[in-house]
Amino acid sequence: MRLIFVVEGPTEEAFVNETFRPHLLERGVYASATIVGTPKRRGSAPLIKGGGDWSRWERDLRRVLGEQRGSDVRVTTMFDLYGLPEGFPGLSEHGTCLDTRKRCGLLENALSEFFDDWRLIPYLQRHEFEALVLASLDVLEDLLDAEDDLRGLADLRTEIGMQAPEDINDGKQTAPSKRIEACIPGYRKTLHGPLAAGGANLTILCDQCPRFSSWLGRLEALAEGEED
C-alpha cells in the first residue's frame, strides 16, 4: 500500500519522512509527503512550497489524486485547523463552530465531499502541528541549551499546566505555535518541531493526542485493508 501525505510545509514534511515513514513501512505501508501551496524563496535557499490560498491547495490535491492509479494508494492530508485558508471547503459554514473537535470533523467531511474520491483520507490537526511539540516537551528540553530557552520552557510548562495538547486553543496569541515562540526565543519550527515530535515517539504522542491517535490507527490499518 502506498500512502501520500499532503502537508502544509517543510515541518510536516520532515515529520512524515522521519517518523511516519519508518513506522508505517514496518506495517507494509510506504509513505511519502508532498507540500501544497505557493512556491517561495527564502533568501538564497531553493524554492519551497507551503501556504498560499485555497485555490493552490486544491490544484495540488487534485494533481496528486489525478496522478495516482490503482487500488493500492491512498492520499491523506495533514493540515492545521488553525489558520486554514479562506475558501477551504466548509470553512464559511463551520469555521465559527466553538467546539473545535466538532469543527475538525465537519471540515474533514466537507473536504471529503468536495473531492469525492474514496482514496482521500482527510485529517486536520487540532489545532496545529505544534500540539505534537507540546506533547514532546521532555524531548524539546534536551534539544535546547541556551539558558533563556530553558527558562522559557519551564514557563511554558507552567502556562499550559495539565491541559491536553490538543485542547490548547486557536487564539492568535494562544495557539500552540504562538505560545512556544513567545516562551522560547531560540525555537525554530522546521528544526526543533520534527526533532521534538519525532523523538518523543508515536506512543507518547498518541497517549496525549487522542485525535492524532485515531488518525494514525486508521493509517496503520491500511496494510490489512481494514480502514473504513
State the pLDDT at residue 27.
93
Q: pLDDT category, 53, cuts 50, 70, 90?
A: confident
Q: Go through 162-185 and write b for each residue having 16 or more CB atoms within 10 A of its CB, e for each that does not.
A: eeebbebebeeeebbbbbbeebbe
Q: What is the 3-state secondary structure (H, E, C) of 60-112?
A: HHHHHHHHCCCCCEEEEEEEECCCCCCCCCCHHHHCCCCCHHHHHHHHHHHHH
State the pLDDT at residue 223.
82
State the pLDDT at residue 214.
97
pTM comes to: 0.91
Number of H helices, E strands in the chain: 12, 7
Residue 140 has pLDDT above 90, yes or no: yes
Q: pLDDT category, 70, cuts 50, 70, 90?
A: confident
DSSP letter at 174? T
Residue 227 has pLDDT above 60, yes or no: no
- The residues with which 76 forms a beta bridge, in sequence order, are 5, 121
Residue 76 has pLDDT above 90, yes or no: yes
State the pLDDT at residue 38.
66
State the pLDDT at residue 52.
75
Task: Locate 200 and state its grid cell.
Answer: 518523543
State the pLDDT at residue 51.
64
**CATH class as words, domain 2-128+209-224:** alpha beta
